[in-house]
Amino acid sequence: MHLYHLSLQPPSNIVCAVHGSFAGISKQQEVVVARGSILQLLVCDSRSGKINVKCSHDVFGIIRSLAAFKLTGGSKDYIVVGSDSGRFVILEYIPNKNCFERVHQETYGKTGCRRIVPGQYLATDPKGRAVLIGAVERQKLVYIMNRDSEANLTISSPLEAHRNFSVCYDVIGMDVGFENPTFACLEVEYEEVDQDPTGEAARNVEQCLTFYELDLGLNHVVRKYSEPLPERGNHLIPVPGGNDGPSGVIVCCQNVIVYKNLGEQQDIRVPLPRRRNDIEYEDTPLLVIASAAHKTKSIYFFLIQLENGDLFKVTLDTEGDIVTDMHLKYFDTVPPANAMCILKTGFLFVAAEFGNHQLYQIARLGTDDAEPDFSSRSTKAGLYNVRDLMNLVMVDTMDSLDPLIQTQVADWANEDAPQIYAICGRGGRSTLRVLRNGLEIAEMAVSELPGNPVAVWTVRRTVDDQYHSYIIVSFANATLVLAIQDSIEEVPDSGFLGTAPTIGCGLIGDDSLLQVYPGGLRHIKSDRRINEWKTPARRYIVNCAINRRQVVIALSGGVIVYFELDLTNQLREFSDHHAFESDILCMSISEIPEGELRSRFLTVGLADNTVRVISLDPTDCLQRLGVQSVQGDPSSLLIIETPDDTGAAPVLHMNIGLSNGCLIRTTIDQVTGDLADTRTRYLGTKPVSLYKVTVEGKDAVIATSSRSWVLYNYQNRFHLTPLSYMPLESAAPFVSPQCAEGIVAVGKSTLRILAFEKLGAVFNQTTHRLKFTPRKFVSLFGTDNLIVVEADHAAFTEKAKADRKAALVEGAEAAVQAARHDVNQQYNAQELRELYRNLDNDESQHGLPKNRNGTWASSIRLINATRGNTLCHYELPEGEAAMCVELVQFRSQPDSVFVLVGCASNLQLVPHHNPQAGCVYTFLVSKAVQGFEFIHRTVLDSPVYSIHAFKGVALIGVGRMLRLYDFGKKRLLMKCENKSLSSSLIPEDMEHLF
């Protein structure tokens, strides 16, 4: 536990991901991901298809690259981390400690993400003999891996593979079997470019594919071979070699992928195919952004992903060691990824570059479908139709807020705790999210009960039962017993007294049940015999505490009676009673420690604002041991045990719920019964009640007040999180064949069976889709109606989309006319025309189509953040980029409120032209706050990035000028101007002005 630099919500994007057998368990693969500064181990459960964080570690640095390698003959993968630390770090995951352990740490350079300090690229030899760490420019270091006589990993001093004046695009370790390890690298040398004033060299500069060979005998690295490439590549994929394949690399270049190898091998080029059923222009460049490889003993294939998210399966035809052809086949479309991992268990993990990460199950390999096959025989780009998922099935998602563009914390939904409103995502995957502090709850069953229940318990019939047998629900004057079978039904002959409320019940001894009701105790034996203990006259039971061998009851008037199970399984009353001066409000007793006969401590909450610890040891039975005074009446007590990781005795934690809504947690000393280490937390407005449940096999506490909370131990830390669910009255653990770990709870007049989801998460997200990348939002008068402005570069507006579609249909129509004499061609042209007419791709799945550079599409949306429905929507004409939004109440128009949207017109990002124009759109908010209407557009001479309401006028940052505008009938009217700013104003500057 680090006590510094802890953020409430850790980064959720994934920069790089590698998979391997890090735990060293055969046939199980884990994924290690880097999220900014956090290194995490993800485990994918192949049965449930859920992916969970197993181990998380903050490195307090920037992780730039990750690689995994396995020593020859080893079963365990090591993790290599390339970071900004100037160090080469090898980590090993230790499963039983659940942590990453550093095996080697070699310092080679300065810290920081620098141009010539390695850390950007990592490449490993597939046989685990060497690892290369490279910089963006010049430097590459190779470390040789080996093992010593005790099978520990050893590392050599670094060997240099530097190359002056060269920019590195990508580097991989080639699979060459057991020959000398070879690394393939994409490099551009700029030495000549720097010497040539004519600029000729810069135009002709070529990228080279260079092979570096590590000579293990001579212990140095040689530049073995270098070959200029006709087009620039950006990504390399190693092809299996040795006994498994032909070796070599696939170079992914713009619009084409090329297979290359040393020796006799001819280059095999396959142009990247294009979407047919899309409105994109045919000359939009295609780029491979990520790849994943799958290799078994019999087959290997690769998945490559293009910028629009389309996956292609790449396979090779070979004759001996010579590759004769390469095939591409459209596989499916998933979110554009930073990294992809194909796991041996048949899952594909997609670490999306923006938005939620996905886990897919590979249902089919796309071998025998009707998708067209693209090979090196065609020189032109093939065409394919994009479609819904066919080979993959989505099984799980990991939330990611990246890129988070704006957030605001406010209670706009009128709940008791504020929400966080966030706009995130990009393009078609943009979202508005409402984050609430709380744990997600899966509702498994809800059933109505007659009347309002006050408490619920679950009991097993014998100690050895795996599942719970009965649910006992207590009402104000009756008790209901339900049996848990395939369905949950009432049982009349359970032995429980149904005509009185129940104070407590549980399994006692090995196979008998105990019910505590106001009039006495009812001991129900397994053979249905019943032993009863009645209270003395004019006394009744107010409270009880039960474990498997001990029963303590509190009678009205502050008297405690203690029972213990004797050797004949009879409850034996302890002869002494103990009387307190004030009323007993609550009691708790811990479970019996393993190997002992009784629990030593009873805790009692009294009306005099104290909690006392009482001994139950036969030598000093019912003696007072410790006392803690609290600020209010204790309303509930619960002792839970926390198993210690180091194997020492578990720690006893006492939880005290107070009637003023606070929860106090203290630790009980196992020997003396002293109380120590007290923490307090306010939970809600109502008295706190505590119930013991189980989370991940450990004791956990449900605390109910005006909200329900759960206190659980997860990844060696206690989490106290509210439940994102209705307030509950009482809860109990629930285990049945259908539900491995759940809770049964009562609330109002219902019985609910629930389960926890996404343990460890602090926020529960509600997500609403947007159309373009959101830029800014404001709340309309502090309600959950938000105005969101969205804008995207190189995107189609609805109108531009319709125009482009019409043009495509027209083109196809012309083709139909031209092919009048050829039936076959005409049929094809007609088919294409119909295809264009019915174009309708799901943009959240297939991505926004790409328009020409320099075009913009923007929209202004009034959306209800609670329900997610768009109340009003206005799309700006093409070329306008909405950048900011503000509500302004003009002095001259006191009755109306206006929405001002600042835009840039025809903004050129690259090259950035200075003379640019902007405008401000003015909208009037309707009286019912359900919409807005367009009033006018004010043309300005520079883009507008910030608007602020200021004393009844609008303060607008126009380029480098700061101006005051008032409302006018035809346009906004300039009142005042300040030209003395050095750069254009962005919203943050504007905030600083006030």
Partner 1 sequence: MSSSTEKAANTERFHVLAQLEHLQSRYTGCGHADTNRWDWLTNQHRDTSASIVGHPDHLSYMAVANNYSRERARVEQLDKMIQPCGAPPKRTPLDDL
Site for partner 1 in 24-53 (CB under 8 A): 36
Is residue 566 within 8 Å of residue 540, measured between CB atoms?
no
Q: In the complex with partner 1, which residue's Cβ is closer, 116 or 976?
A: 116
Query: How open is the CA angle 66-70-71, to the nearest 5 degrees?
Result: 135
Q: Given candidates 19, 64, 269, 549, which one binds partner 1 under the rule CB under 8 A?
A: 64
Using alpha carbons only, how large is the chain's radius of gyration in Å?
A: 35
Site for partner 1 in 181-220 (CB under 8 A): 188, 190, 193-199, 202, 205
709 vs 717: CA distance, rounded Å: 16
Q: Can you spell out the DSSP letters for 820-845?
A: TT-HHHHHHHHHHHHHHHT----HHH
CB 311, min distance to partner 1, A: 14
Strands (E) located in 595-671 = 601-606, 610-615, 624-629, 634-642, 651-658, 662-668
Is residue 635 within 8 Å of residue 657, measured between CB atoms?
yes
Site string for partner 1, 664-703 (x = CB under 8 A): ----------------------------------------
Q: In the complex with partner 1, which residue's Cβ is closer, 18 or 625?
A: 18
* DSSP three-state, residue 281: coil
What is the pairing mode between strands 662-668 and 675-682?
A: antiparallel
Is residue 308 within 8 Å of residue 277, measured between CB atoms?
no
Segment near partner 1 (CB under 8 A), from 286-294, 746-754, 860-868, 967-975? 286-294
Site string for partner 1, 916-945 (x = CB under 8 A): ------------------------------
Query: How open is the CA angle 916-918-924, to the nearest 5 degrees?
Result: 175
The candidate with the shortest Cα–Cα distance to 609, out of 580, 582, 632, 575, is 632
Confirm or reject binding of residue 986 to partner 1 (CB under 8 A). no
Q: Given candidates 21, 261, 315, 338, which one binds partner 1 under the rule CB under 8 A?
A: 338
Q: Given candidates 40, 543, 628, 773, which one binds partner 1 under the rule CB under 8 A?
A: 773
Q: What tokens does 104 get?
A: 């080697």
The candidate with the shortest Cα–Cα distance to 240, out of 295, 313, 169, 298, is 295
CB 293, min distance to partner 1, A: 17
Q: What tokens does 727 get?
A: 């307030």
Q: Please, what sign has the CA dihedral across residues 476, 481, 484, 489?
A: negative
302 vs 817: CA distance, rounded Å: 42
Site string for partner 1, 350-379 (x = CB under 8 A): ---xx-------------------------
Q: Please, what sign has the CA dihedral across residues 436, 441, 443, 446?
A: negative
Confirm or reject binding of residue 795 to partner 1 (CB under 8 A). yes
Query: How open is the CA angle 280-281-286, to the nearest 5 degrees?
Result: 80
CB 15, min distance to partner 1, A: 4
Confirm or reject binding of residue 54 to partner 1 (CB under 8 A). no
Backbone angles phi, psi at 673, to 5 degrees: 80, 10
The candidate with the shortest Cα–Cα distance to 843, out of 403, 435, 355, is 355
Is residue 96 within 8 Å of residue 24, measured between CB atoms?
no
Is residue 467 within 8 Å of residue 736, measured between CB atoms?
yes
For residue 270, count CB atoms less than 10 angstroms from its CB and return exposed for 0-12, middle for 13-18, buried for 19 or more.
buried
Q: In the complex with partner 1, which residue's Cβ is closer, 440 or 792?
A: 792
Confirm or reject binding of residue 778 to partner 1 (CB under 8 A). no
CB atoms within 10 A of CB 222: 13
Site for partner 1 in 495-534 (CB under 8 A): none
Site string for partner 1, 859-878 (x = CB under 8 A): --------------------
What is each CA distance from 554 to 13, 510, 546, in whole angstroms?
Answer: 54, 25, 12
Q: In the complex with partner 1, which residue's Cβ is closer, 86 or 968?
A: 86
Confirm or reject binding of residue 399 to partner 1 (CB under 8 A). no
For residue 447, count CB atoms less than 10 angstroms from its CB and return exposed for 0-12, middle for 13-18, buried for 19 or more.
exposed
CB 186, min distance to partner 1, A: 9
CB 120, min distance to partner 1, A: 6
CB 366, min distance to partner 1, A: 23
313 vs 291: CA distance, rounded Å: 10
H-run or E-run covering 158: none
H-run or E-run covering 442: strand 441-448
CB 37, min distance to partner 1, A: 10
CB 34, min distance to partner 1, A: 8
Q: Given candidates 332, 792, 843, 878, which one binds partner 1 under the rule CB under 8 A?
A: 792
Q: Given candidates 174, 289, 663, 955, which one binds partner 1 under the rule CB under 8 A?
A: 289
Site string for partner 1, 97-136 (x = CB under 8 A): ----------------xxxx--xx---------------x
Site string for partner 1, 411-450 (x = CB under 8 A): ---------------xx-----------------------
Confirm or reject binding of residue 403 to partner 1 (CB under 8 A). yes
Looking at the chain, the number of H-run helices and the number of E-run strands are: 6, 77
Segment near partner 1 (CB under 8 A), from 164-172, 440-448, 745-753, 983-991? 164-172
Q: In the complex with partner 1, which residue's Cβ is closer, 403 or 643?
A: 403
Q: What tokens does 659 get?
A: 């009637």
Q: What tokens does 100 get?
A: 């990453």
Is residue 912 within 8 Å of residue 803, measured between CB atoms?
no
222 vs 565: CA distance, rounded Å: 80
What is the pairing mode between strands 383-384 and 274-275?
A: parallel
Site for partner 1 in 133-152 (CB under 8 A): 136-138
CB 122, min distance to partner 1, A: 13
Q: In the complex with partner 1, which residue's Cβ is closer, 121 or 517?
A: 121
Backbone angles phi, psi at 829, to 5 degrees: -65, -40
Segment near partner 1 (CB under 8 A), from 283-291, 499-507, 615-623, 656-664? 283-291
Q: In the complex with partner 1, which residue's Cβ is closer, 99 or 287?
A: 287
Confirm or reject binding of residue 793 to partner 1 (CB under 8 A). yes
Q: Given candidates 280, 307, 317, 803, which one binds partner 1 under the rule CB under 8 A?
A: 307
Q: Given candidates 794, 815, 839, 964, which one binds partner 1 under the rule CB under 8 A?
A: 794
Q: Given candidates 72, 156, 164, 908, which one binds partner 1 under the rule CB under 8 A?
A: 164
823-837 helix and 798-818 helix, angle to the nearest 10 degrees: 170
CB 651, min distance to partner 1, A: 40
Site for partner 1 in 231-250 (CB under 8 A): 232, 234-235
Q: Binding residues for partner 1, how many (CB under 8 A)?
A: 54
Confirm or reject binding of residue 911 to partner 1 (CB under 8 A). no
Q: In the complex with partner 1, which residue's Cβ is closer, 333 or 512?
A: 333
Q: In the complex with partner 1, which residue's Cβ is closer, 204 or 485?
A: 204
CB 85, min distance to partner 1, A: 12
Q: Given candidates 402, 440, 729, 790, which one binds partner 1 under the rule CB under 8 A?
A: 402
Q: What tokens does 695 get?
A: 């989370």
Confirm or reject binding of residue 167 to partner 1 (CB under 8 A). yes
Q: In the complex with partner 1, which residue's Cβ is closer, 136 or 365?
A: 136
Is residue 400 within 8 Å of residue 356, measured between CB atoms?
yes
Q: Which amino acid is at 731?
A: A
Q: Which residues bind partner 1 (CB under 8 A)?
A: 13, 15, 36, 62, 64, 84, 113-116, 119-120, 136-138, 164-165, 167, 169, 188, 190, 193-199, 202, 205, 232, 234-235, 287-290, 307, 336, 338, 353-354, 402-403, 405, 426-427, 773, 792-795, 909-910
